[in-house]
Structure 1
Amino acid sequence: MNPYVAHKADREITTYEVTVASDIDTLTQCDFSAEQIVSLLGLRQRYQSGGSDRASVMHHLEFLKYLVMSGKMEK
C-alpha cells in the first residue's frame, strides 16, 4: 500500500474518532442517555451514508420522531 494513502486513511479514521468522541461528550452534557446517544449516532451514520431522496426525508423524520419521543423536543 502506498505510504501516503495509508497515512491519509489513518488521519481520516483518527479525525472521525475524535469527532465521535466530541459528539458523545456534547450529548452527554445535554443529559442524553447512552441508549439515546447510540441511536442518534446510528441515525446520523444512516443519514450520511446516503440513499434515495425518499430515504433522506425518512431519516430526517425518524430523527425528529426520536427527539419528540425522548422528550428533547415538543410537538
Structure 2
Amino acid sequence: MRPDTSDWRDDSRYDYFDRLPVEGLAWECLRRYVPYQELYSGLVNAAAEAAPLPKDAQQLWGLRFRRQAGLVRA
C-alpha cells in the first residue's frame, strides 16, 4: 500500500525532519526506498517479519541493532 502523497509540497508535513537524529533521517530515507519496501513485503508475506533480518540484507541495508528492535508507532 502506498502512502497518500497528495500533499507532498506542504512544507509543514516535513517539519519533524528538522528534529530527527541521523538514525531517524536514515530510516525515513530507507523506508521510502522501493527495493527495501519489496524486501520487507516479502518478509511479511512469508510471515517472517518478526524473525531476524537475514545477514545479507543486514549488510545490504547497513542495519545493525544493539538490542531487539521494537515497533515504532507514529
**Do these two structures clear the TM 0.5 threshold for a shared fold by scoring above it?**
no
Higher relative contact order (CA 8 A, sep 6+): 1
Q: If you compute each CA radius of gyration, which structure gives the higher value, 1 or 2? A: 1
Query: Normalised by the shorter chain, which TM-score bucket?
Result: 0.3 to 0.5
